Amino acid sequence: MKMIGWDDEFGGLRLVWRGFGRAEANWRKITGNDINYSAQDSDILTAIGYRPDAPSRDDNHEKFTPAQNMIYARRRAGLAAQ
């Protein structure tokens, strides 16, 4: 799903992609480059069911559930505290 909205910093209308998987896939199309995740982020994303090395092509898997978001936030906070 995509949304067009006003962005004050940008100074006009801009297309905003909703869904992490689609934004990543779009970045790869535009730049031809992969997004390089840190090892910690990659491990966390894999643990919650998102494989950074192979973005999902299924639109139903673009968004994380609230439970997955909480798991990611807690693990990220735990790693930052170490």
Please check the confidence at residue 66 and state whether its pLDDT lies above 70: yes
The residue length of the chain stands at: 82
Q: Which residue has the tokens 């994303």?
A: 45
Banded pLDDT at 8 (limits 50, 70, 90)? low
Q: Which domain holds residue 17?
A: 2-81
DSSP code at position 63: S
Query: Into how many domains does the chain fold?
Result: 1
Please check the confidence at residue 69 and state whether its pLDDT lies above 60: yes
Please check the confidence at residue 1 and state whether its pLDDT lies above 50: no
Burial class (CB in 10 A: 0-12, 13-18, 19+), 11: exposed
Instruction: Output phi, psi for 20, to 5 deg.
Output: -65, -45
Task: Decide: pTM greater than 0.75.
Answer: no
pLDDT value, residue 58: 47
Phi-psi region of 32 (alpha: psi -120 to 50; beta: other; left: phi over 0): left
Summarize pLDDT for 10-59 with one digit per residue, the tens.
554 444 444 555 666 666 666 666 666 677 777 777 777 666 555 544 44
* CA 63 – CA 22 distance, rounded (Å): 9
> Which is nearest to 19 in space by CA: 55, 57, 63, 49?
63
